[in-house]
Structure formats: structure tokens, C-alpha cells
Amino acid sequence: MKTTGGSDAAKRRAGERAAEDVEDGFVVGLGTGSTTAHAIEAIGRAVDDGLDVRGIATSFQSRRLALEAGIPLTELDAVADVDLAIDGADRVLEGGDARGTLIKGGGAAHTREKLVGESADRFVVVADPSKLTDRLEASVPVAVLPEAHTVVAERVDELDGEATLREAECKDGPVVTDTGNLVLDCDFGPIEDPATLATRLSALPGVVEHGLFVDVADATYVGTADGVEVRRY
């Protein structure tokens, strides 16, 4: 699993709190990453105790964790509704009108994560305090068609950003996502207007999905040293 900063105990508290929101009969979007992994494990324990749920994996990783945890899986195109999606984030914006705006995709899973999160009746973010920020300054992961990476990088430059093709750590060449795309990590400096940037990135030819999530989250559960703080939007 990709390692990220933050306390694992705090991630566990957030993940386990989100798992408590899963009700009998729910279809649940299972996000990706080290924080959501705790939610998946907790849902698996509830399934062992008789909870009837079906999960929708957002990545190979979450599919594998769900199978290990004994969570029955389905697919997005096989269900009428997704009741709840639980997912982590690399940055969670706090304050102002843009509360709950996220940057995701540190694990290159944001394409399916956004699809499942946007499809859900409720989208709960699980995070440790290291993810919270009152100013978005992190790079935005942008998944692109492989043949489009140079064209998109030029367009990102025209948007005053700097795109870097994400390189794999354990293979020669770039990261290839679960959906067969490459990832450009795009540095725009401080992002003052996430909604406008999100719209501009979505409009670029060759872009499959970007990791700016604007107005998607309904709540963030922040694991702390001794509990969970809940932000609702």
C-alpha cells in the first residue's frame, strides 16, 4: 500500500467511525488508500456479524481488501443506487465557502473514486489531521489518455501550471492507473478558485479525470489523538 503521512491510529478511528454509518442493505462505495483500508476492515467485521452489504471497489487495492475482508462486491452498472461512499483524501480544504473541497489521487485511483463518490447518496471523507488545510497548495493529479500526456502538459502550462508525469517506483516508466491512464501531477501553486480550475481541467482534451473534488463530500470524519471530529457540509 502507498504510504502517506499522518497517524495510523487517527486513520483507523476515522475509518472505523465511517464504517458505523453502513446500514443493513446498503450498497457502499469503497475508496482507496491507507485510511479507507480501516473502514473496509471494519465493514468486513460487520459482515462477519451478519450485516448485509454490497461493496463497489474503486481500485484493484480496495477490491483486494474487500475480498480479504469478506465483503460481497458488485459493480456500479449493476446497481440502481449507491447509498454511501467512504473515501480518503490527500487534502481537505477547511473554511470559507469551499469547505470539503478535496484533492485526491495520490494513489492514482481518483477516476473511479470520483465516479463512485459522485454517484453516492452520501460521500464521507475519512482523514487524519495532516490532510486538513485552509489553503490548497498541493499538486493536482490528472489522469490522461497515454497518448495525450504531452498535449495535456502543454495545456496545463497555458493554465499557469507545471505538469510532471508520475513515474513508477517499481518499474521503468510511468505509473499506469487501474483504468489504463497515465498521471500528470500538476502544480498550480496556491489554488484560490478550485471550482474554476476543476472546470478548466475537465475541459482539456485527453483528460480522463482530475483529482480536484469540488462540492462532492457531505462530511469529513477526522480521526484525532483521542476521537473523531465530524465536519458536515
Ligand X SMILES: O=C[C@H](O)[C@H](O)[C@H](O)COP(=O)(O)O
Residue numbers in the known binding site are 32-35, 87-90, 104-107, 131
Q: Is 222 in the site for ligand X (CB under 6 A)?
A: no
CB of 14 to ligand X, least distance (A): 9
CB of 38 to ligand X, least distance (A): 9
Q: Which is nearer to ligand X, 41 or 87 (CB)?
A: 87
CB of 80 to ligand X, least distance (A): 25
108 Rama class: left (phi>0) / alpha (psi -120 to 50) / beta: left
CA distance linking residue 71 with residue 47, whole number of Å = 7
| Residues taking part in catalysis | 113
Residue nearest to ligand X (CB): 33
Q: Is 113 in the site for ligand X (CB under 6 A)?
A: yes
Q: Is 143 in the site for ligand X (CB under 6 A)?
A: no
Q: Which is nearer to ligand X, 83 or 113 (CB)?
A: 113
Q: Which of residues 1-30 bind ligand X (CB under 6 A)?
A: 2, 4
CA angle 59, 61, 63 (to 5 degrees): 70
Q: Is 33 in the site for ligand X (CB under 6 A)?
A: yes
Number of neighbouring beta carbons within 10 Å of residue 154: 11
CA distance linking residue 162 with residue 144, whole number of Å = 15
221 Cβ partners below 8 Å, 6+ apart?
A: 14, 17, 18, 124, 125, 126, 127, 228, 229, 230
The residues that touch ligand X, with contacts defined as CB under 6 A, are 2, 4, 31-35, 87-90, 104-110, 113
